[in-house]
Structure 1
């Protein structure tokens, strides 16, 4: 098993090892090459970087702090720390790449941003960025998730975005991606598809990773200042994988730092359509314009997936995660629905922090690591806050935790 990390990745064709690339119609490939060129120019432009840094500091509220969760640490016998991306403006890590993508779109002269969203955090962040830079915004969201994440739908509409339901299939994240991609194909000249994770055709897995890498860059400095050392363990949830790549990238060369990505085991790992554990149970395949691990049905098409967390129910994963799995640099484990909900309440009641259900998967896995003993320090990427999930959690799990709806 190798543990080497190639800093040159992706290559010019957008590959991380055998994963990534761009599997799209020829006419769209020309547009992707224009986006790649524009992004390359932006990342080398000091004025662009200064503007992004200014917005991160004065608009988003970065750097997000690291919090030592002393109550959890005492209870579980390991030093547990949280990278507080939930404190960002809009409530999650998504604003990091949405601002970057919006500025790239503006530089390219685009008129509209379009995107998919599952939990709604990417949609809220993109609607926010679009309002800030003066672009129109269309957000595609599965009908199931629109009902489940109603507070975020309201936020998007207040911000001026059009929220467009995806009404086919399971009516969740994968279908929202399908709908957004179809809309983008109709007018790639005036629109930029601001992909919401480290997925899609090149350059998006690279571009979103680069914008999100501020998480790990900050955390590396902050953790050393706080403790004198690097963390022994990093933990982040993985759906598409943007918050995880944001944290992991700065530590990939540190072989003494164990890195853990946490996928949703849902209701059952043994039944098709009851989980979204792509790296755990999938195999290489192509969907949505890129090659990566993928959950396939008997025909080789994307398998039906499920998670209690709307932001994690995707049948593929970012190509760099597939590469990191294959070389053995990152361990990919799982947490199921009940473990995530238990962790949701554990953090709320032990530390006074209500996490997103997505982030609760990472916390659940971290607590399992802590229970093993002698694991050293654990840094969890708390990628989002749980405001969006409160109604759903109370309705479906409230009685179990002694909460009765007052409405």
Structure 2
């Protein structure tokens, strides 16, 4: 038995694909057959669209196989001329069985074989035949399937989808001319032909839907006629606006106001504590309070006095545990000369509402006499000697006024 070679594959390019189905497994098979009346050789190729099996027989092998399969028919050994005529007649009968018109009258049944990878029998009323095929290999199978099946199917589909009329409406001559034209173009530039054939939306989407249906996919894609324009640009993410971010009407861009974000944070903290603090009151004044604090020199002092005001009963429940208020002892009145040279604190501006409690104005004590001052000096010296220190209150910053000329 000869091996299936490239020359045998080229001989089968002129033959049509024939189809038979295994009745037991319902598996379809495609096969081709070629025979030569000159040297009485034959070659056979069969596939399940995944692998290729083949067998090549010369004249002697064909005669021996025929006599083995048809023992019920008398096949006596003849002389050379009669033997050659007998072989030619039987090979022609086998060739007619491997045609589109004769394959339907032949039964197909796979059988077990000790020498073949895939064996099956063909049987009709007049004769019986068996093929013992061998696997040709994966590389040869892929090459044969591409040349014999895949590329021709792509070209035929291109013809069917690119023609203005249906291919079934063409006559024999018209169809042959159209096939020859497309075949010559595809043979010269295979890359351009494949690109033009597979890039058509109707053909590509039809093949896609057929693939999905054939592989039991539930969500079937649609068949489209025109190409969908898809912009090849990255999609910009939607900007997330943080607290205090606003859209500028003049420039159309996003501008972040830091003061707005700070106010929002302070307000949220005050609400969580349940306290109406002077900080939130000052924040609620907005930009007007900020401008007034810049214009009035005593605005900072008003905030300090507001921060030092006593805690109310509602506030005491939440802030007394965290911030204990130290007790203040009354400070002794300053002496006469010091009291005279003391500088009065400037009056607090009442334009803003940020300082609801005004500092009380202290009355000037009457001038002390020399006797009183002498007694106070003696008391102070006695306290220093005994080591006792007087409890003083919170020291206030000194406000120096302008020079007087």
Fold agreement, TM-score > 0.5: no
**Higher relative contact order, structure no. (Cα contacts within 8 Å, ≥ 6 residues apart):** 1
TM range (shorter): under 0.3
The two structures have a TM-score, normalised by structure 1, of 0.22
CA radius of gyration, larger in: 2
The two structures have a TM-score, normalised by structure 2, of 0.22
